[in-house]
Amino acid sequence: MKKIIYFLTGLLLIGLVGCGDMENTPTKQVEAFLSQYQTLDSKVLEDLDTVIADQGSLTDEQSDEYRELMKKHYQDLKYEIKDEVIDGDNATVSVEIEVNDYSKILQDAENYRQEHEEEFQDENGEYDESKFIAYRLNAMKEANEKVKYTLDFTLTKDADGKWVLDNLTTADEQKINGTYTH
C-alpha cells in the first residue's frame, strides 16, 4: 500500500513539475502577452491611459471615446501562432495577427482634412484640432476592414531559465494597434 502511495505521489509531483515547464515556453509567453490585450489586463489599460494622457489635445469626452474604441479593438484582436524557433537562450515566435485597419482610416481622414479645411475651422477661421479629432474618432468607430500582419516576437531566457519577451519594436506596437502604415 505504501508503495502505491509513494508511486502516486511521485506521479503527481512529476505532473506538477511538468506542467510548470509547459507554461515556460516561448509560445506560451507570447500567447500570455497577446491574451493580456484580449482580456484588457490592467497593465494594458495602464499603458493605454498613458498614451491617451500624452495626447494632450483630446477633450475628456474624446479620451473616453478613444479608450473605449481601443478596448474593443484589443478584445477583437485575433492571432495564430505560426512558428517557434529556439536557438539556445534565444527564441523567435512568429504570429499572424488580425486587427482593425485603422491606418487606412487615419490616412483617409488626413486626406479629407486637407481637402476640406473649412470644416475643421472655428468661428474665427482658425484650425480647430478638436473638430478634426472628433471626425477621426467617428471614422475609426466605423472601421470594418481588417488587416493581417506577421509579427516575429523575440524572447530571451533569463537567469532563472524563464522565457522573457523582448521589447517590441515601434512597428510591432503599431501593428497591434492597427495603425501601422506600410
What pLDDT is recorded for position 22?
75
User: Does residue 28 contact residue 86 with C-beta atoms inside 8 Å?
Assistant: no
Q: What is the pLDDT of residue 31?
A: 98
Domain carrying residue 152: 25-177
Whether residue 100 is contained in a domain is answered as yes
Ranges under pLDDT 70 in the chain: 1-21
Count of domains in the chain? 1
pLDDT of residue 21: 67
Tell me what pLDDT residue 79 has. Answer: 98
The pLDDT of residue 182: 74
Residue 182 covered by a domain = no
The Cβ-side half-sphere exposure at 104, using a 13 Å CA radius, reads 9
Q: Is residue 12 one of the residues assigned to a domain?
A: no
Query: Is 11 inside any structural domain?
Result: no
pLDDT score at 3: 44
